[in-house]
Amino acid sequence: MTELIDFSEYRRRGAGKQRVYFDQSELRLLLDMYSRRVATGEWRDYAIDFNGPVAVFSIFRNTHETPIYAIAKRRNGKHWEFIIRTGGQTVKRGRELPDVLKVLEKKLRLVDA
* Interval 31-56: pLDDT, tens: 999 999 999 888 999 999 988 899 99
Q: How much of the chain is helix, strand and coil, in % rounded to 5?
A: 30, 30, 35
Q: 10 Å Cβ neighbour count for 59? A: 23
User: pLDDT truncated to tens, each residue of the chain (113 aa)?
Assistant: 566 666 666 666 655 557 889 999 999 999 999 999 999 888 999 999 988 899 999 999 987 888 999 999 999 888 999 999 998 899 999 999 999 999 998 765 666 66
With contact defined as beta carbons under 8 Å apart, do 82 and 97 qualify?
Answer: yes
Residue type, 57: F
Spatial distance between the Cα atoms of 94 and 98, rounded to a whole number of angstroms: 9
